[in-house]
Amino acid sequence: MKIFSAEQIKQIDEFTIANEPISSIDLMERAAMACTKRIMKLVNTEDELIIFCGKGNNGGDGFAIARLLLERGFNCHAFVINYTNKFSADAEINYNKLKESFATKISEINSLADLKEKITSTNFIVIDALLGTGINKAIDGLLKETVTFINANFRRIISIDVPSGLFVDEPSKDNESIICSTLTLTFQFPKLAFLFPENKKYVNEFEVLDIGLSAKAIQDEFTNFYYITKQDISSFLKPRNKFSHKGNYGHALLLAGSKGKSGAAIISSKACLRGGAGLLTLHSNKSTVEGLLHHLPEAMSIEDTNEDHISEIDKPENYDAIGFGPGVGSHEDTQIVLKKILQYYTGKLIIDADGLNILSENKTWLDFLPPETILTPHPKEFERLFGKHENDFEKIKALKHISLKYNCIVVLKGAHSAIAFPDGSIFFNSSGNAGLAKGGSGDALTGIILGLLARGYTAPKATLIGLFIHGYAADMCVKKKSMESLLISDVIEQLPKAFKKLEG
């Protein structure tokens, strides 16, 4: 799914109106109906709803939603926030339609005192239709007072398209007046700002509603930003050949673990075989190799001559893909092992965890990464490697630059992990939950991607599939388990079902 700027969305709207053809007011009605259908599933007829409406097109959506809900027997009231005397053309049409049928369900708000006088309870469900995607400066006056009042008094807030006050194409860091929505129902595409940690308190959750914008306009409009969907990943998966054998699915080498960090190696090894590799060899220290036999007899192993950590590597060219880093530590001879891989191995490579920390201490080695090497830093590892950035928009620019500069794939892990590719594109993941915020999650991700690389997927597809299925398996887990008590072992055990669902 493509992610567009506010200006691009406006152009796609205009193309749809001109070429479907459909009037702008009818397109607004279509969007309002999509929202109404979703809201009807989220609330009960006995719930009391307040729809805060601005005077632009977002307010027009709100007036239409109010009318559609009232026609269907829901208990809602529209508050018109008169921060200006002028409606947009379509907002005025929908305001008049609502007034004709439900005049008593409209309140005009001219001051904060009006709000306080008319709203004496905080038990309402709020629908925020004050502003849309077009703002580029912080709000003030009555709008600011209204946003502050809503945030201070209501716990359940559904925003229409965008939480009012949020900039979608630039940082909102200095903007104090933004609706803190519990759910945003956004039209056709996710907005870039929704995917950044700095906006988490404004966009707690969002859902994308299809409002039937022109497929041709969407296809023709260029963007570097994409949102990974289940359908995308299902289309990437390759079926296994009936007459194949283990050699057809690749041999992965995993260099992981050290004294006190055997768990990282075993987690990553399990995930690798669950990711589809035909064969896996774990190279590690003695105690880790011994632990592997008990936990994963399907894997092979190489025991390092050093009992505490990895200190050597032999014939890396014999493997279809190599994973380096989970739990290896940063001993000097372990660093030399990574240097040798970078010097002599030209195949598929993924580097994670301590491997990234080693690179951060030897940044000139980045110039020697094999093409499409996959780096999987969490935010602190990213910072150690590539420095701090003022905001998430700047961080994404840096992510793109780094991928282009070093011809590598960079996965910035977190909610909606961002994946940068050397062609300049950036994909955001749609799967996963906060239950993954525990030790071992990154080790499992490395293993899954390594398994997919060995299996024969290209580095870009292995990365996208690996990210999505890692989160998708976790989402399946939390249907029956609490996020609080989720273990990465639970997620790995769920991988077969996750693959099965995606294959179906």
Quote the percentage of the chain above a pLDDT of 90: 97
User: 103 in the Ramachandran plot: left (φ > 0), alpha (ψ -120 to 50) or beta?
Assistant: alpha
Q: Is the pLDDT of residue 134 over 80?
A: no
136: pLDDT strictly greater than 90: no
The pLDDT-based confidence of 202 (bands split at 50, 70, 90) is very high
* Mean pLDDT, rounded, for 137-163: 96
Q: According to the model, what pLDDT value does residue 258 have?
A: 98
**pLDDT tens digits for range 385-416:** 999 999 999 999 999 999 999 999 999 999 99
The band of 135, judged by pLDDT with boundaries at 50, 70 and 90, is confident
Is the domain spanning 231-235+251-503 CATH 2.40.50.140? The answer is: no
Say what the pLDDT of residue 71 is.
Answer: 98
**Quick one: tokens of 371?**
């093409």
* Residue closest to 214 by CA, chosen among 379, 487, 10: 10
The answer, yes or no, to whether residue 17 has pLDDT greater than 90, is: yes
On the question of pLDDT at 329 being above 90, the answer is: yes
Mean pLDDT of the chain: 97
* pLDDT at 169 > cutoff 90: yes
DSSP label of 480: T
Provide CATH code, domain 2-223.
3.40.50.10260
Domain with CATH 3.40.50.10260 in the chain: 2-223
SS (H, E, C) 348-387: EEEECCHHHHHHHHCHHHHHHCCCCCEECCCHHHHHHHHC
Strand arrangement, sheet containing 426-428: 2-3, 225-227, 426-428, 418-420, 409-412, 374-375, 348-351, 321-324, 251-255, 279-284, 300-303
Q: How confident is the model at residue 120 (pLDDT cuts 50, 70, 90)?
A: confident
**Domain(s) of CATH 3.40.1190.20: residues in the chain:** 231-235+251-503
Average pLDDT over residues 60-87: 97
At 377, the amino acid letter reads P
Q: Global pTM?
A: 0.96
416 backbone φψ class: left, alpha, beta (φ>0; ψ -120 to 50):
left
Averaged pLDDT, 292-316: 96
Give the mean pLDDT of 117-127.
94
- The two tokens of residue 434 are 């906060």
Say whether pLDDT at 173 is over 80: no
Token representation of residue 287: 């105690």
Q: How much of the chain exceeds pLDDT 70, in percent?
A: 100
